[in-house]
Amino acid sequence: MSNSKLPLPSPPSLPGRRAVATTLATALAATLVLSLAGCGGGGSSAVDSGTPVPPPVATGPEVLVQITTGASIAAIADSAGASVIDQFGRRPIYRLQLPAGRDAEAAAAALAQRSDVRFAESNVENETPEGTKNSIWLIGGDAGSYGTQWAPTSLRLPAAQALATGEGVRVAVLDTGIDATHPALAGRLARTAGGAILGRDFVDDDADASESGSRADIGWGHGTHVAGLVALAAPSARLMPVRVLDRQGRGNVWVLAEALAWAVDPDGNPATDDGAHIVNMSLGSTKPTRLLSAVVSLASCEFGDDDNDFDDAGFDDDRARCALGHGAAVLSAAGNSGSDTERLYPAAEEVKGARAITATTAQQGLAPFANRGGWIKLAAPGEAIVSTVPGGGWGTWSGTSMASPLAAGTAALVLGRPSPNPRPGATGLRQWFAEDLMKRLEDRARPVCNASVRQIDAAAAVGDTPAPDTACP
């Protein structure tokens, strides 16, 4: 976390933050797994003869809670027989671990009945739509087909990029990491004043947000592919790699929340403008969570002064940051189940300043795999999309995970244009409210054939002009 932690009223020897972290996921879960994934090293270990090997310590499920101002987290944890293992910066939000074998849902339900608990929920896992469908990228394409494929034409990107290129915009890509050495990405990474890549690995808890794994791993390459599509849409924008998913494309809500909070304030100082303007999350879960909804609201700065959920002094830095306009619009993939009933979160949180993005085809229709429904307002190309993959190569992938970064890149282009409703006291890119930016994408979108959703039109959004009619087959 970017903010310093308060001392926790828990035993002095706590498990490492990552040692007990469960796995999250890359593009959007079609299934939800509630059990924790155990962590352990591979290989064998040499032991002196006769020395007994202690049995591995079983770790139990986790519960996340927000408590009321002045409440005792020690007493709350003790009532559930849990240990406090982490705090969300200075905010009154904690991560608790239950003994092995306990039911996290039952424990959360019991804690939620307490008057000193604002919410309690399990630390849910989620998985990518591509991962759940065992969809991996296919080797193919090159730098030429990357630029000339159908998606830029469908979005009318050439006309939009004649007006804006995303100069000065930082786009955080919360995913499996990025191959920072890829020729198409190496010169497009956000950097600190000292020249280091402005990124973070929340899986291994270090500053190297590179992809990890190989072709044998289902999630490997997802983040690099997604990052390439942001760069395709907004060639002058700078990418912030934030690794929240392991090589299988899995993770958990706590890690995602930590990463999202870091992305909008990397140095932990709300007065400095060093965070993302746009966040892309091609990931999610079929289960809504109060924590993720809250953190998306904090990231987008689209919450009111009278929001009681954030009245604790622990949220002072968030309020100070947002008073300066240092928030981000959040775009998330809508899911790959082809369902009109399934909802994927955070895409379906319907938080101001955030939007769900579903996928279209070259025939201007909704992709068969794409989720649909009234909660989804926007679409972008997502079928057979060529982009960057680790090792300097190119690959083709289909999914709403591909549509979301194209939408994020388009939003980066719009940021370079004058805001119709400038934030008082803000300058430059920070004049845009996140919700105004999302409304611009919606208001200037065009119909999708035989569907109620509308596809983003980059030229219309950037130029603030009506989108042309869609020519349906």
CATH of the domain at 143: 3.40.50.200
Query: CA 89 to CA 180: how far, in whole Å?
Result: 28
The answer to whether 175 is a known catalytic residue is yes
For 362, counting Cβ atoms within 10 Å of its Cβ (0-12 exposed, 13-18 middle, 19+ buried), the class is middle
Is the pLDDT at 246 greater than 60? The verdict is yes
Residue 54 counted as domain residue: no
When pLDDT is cut at 50, 70 and 90, the band that residue 6 belongs to is very low
Active-site hit among 154, 285, 387, 401: 401
3-state secondary structure 293-342: HHHHHHHHCCCCCCCHHHCCHHHHHHHHHHHCCCCCEEEEECCCCCCCCC
Is the pLDDT at 340 greater than 80? The verdict is yes
267-276 pLDDT tens trace: 999 999 999 9
Residue 354 counted as domain residue: yes
Residue 179 counted as domain residue: yes
Active-site hit among 182, 222, 225, 277: 222
Residue 396 counted as domain residue: yes
Model pLDDT, residue 140: 78
Is the preceding peptide bond at 368 cis, omega within 30 degrees of 0? no
Residue 47 counted as domain residue: no
Residue 345 counted as domain residue: yes
From 76, 69, 117, select the one nearest 315 (Cα to Cα).
69
Residue 284 counted as domain residue: yes
Mean pLDDT of the chain: 87
Spatial contact of 332 and 282, defined as CB atoms under 8 Å apart: yes
Q: What is the number of other CB atoms lying within 10 angstroms of the CB of residue 411?
A: 35
Active-site hit among 175, 179, 274, 312: 175
Model pLDDT, residue 47: 36
Q: Angle, nearest 10°, between helix axes 253-263 and 290-300? A: 10
Mean per-residue pLDDT, 421-426:
93
Give the whole-number percent of the chain exceeding pLDDT 70.
85
For 144, the 3-state DSSP assignment is: helix
Torsion of CA 6, 12, 15, 17, to 10 degrees: 20
The answer to whether 401 is a known catalytic residue is yes
Domain containing 137: what range? 129-463
Residue at token pair 């929240």: 244
For 260, the 3-state DSSP assignment is: helix
Model pLDDT, residue 137: 64
Is the pLDDT at 49 greater than 50? The verdict is no
385-422 pLDDT tens trace: 999 999 999 999 999 999 999 999 999 999 999 999 99
Q: Left if phi > 0, otherwise alpha if psi is -120 to 50, otherwise beta: which for 50?
A: left
User: Which is it for the CA torsion 305, 307, 311, 315, positive or negative?
Assistant: negative
Is the pLDDT at 368 greater than 60? The verdict is yes
The answer to whether 222 is a known catalytic residue is yes
With DSSP H G I counted as helix, E B as strand and the rest as coil, what are the percentages for the chain, rounded to 5? Answer: 25, 20, 55
Is the pLDDT at 56 greater than 70? The verdict is no
Is the pLDDT at 362 greater than 90? The verdict is yes
Residue 271 counted as domain residue: yes
Model pLDDT, residue 54: 57
Total count of domains within the chain: 1
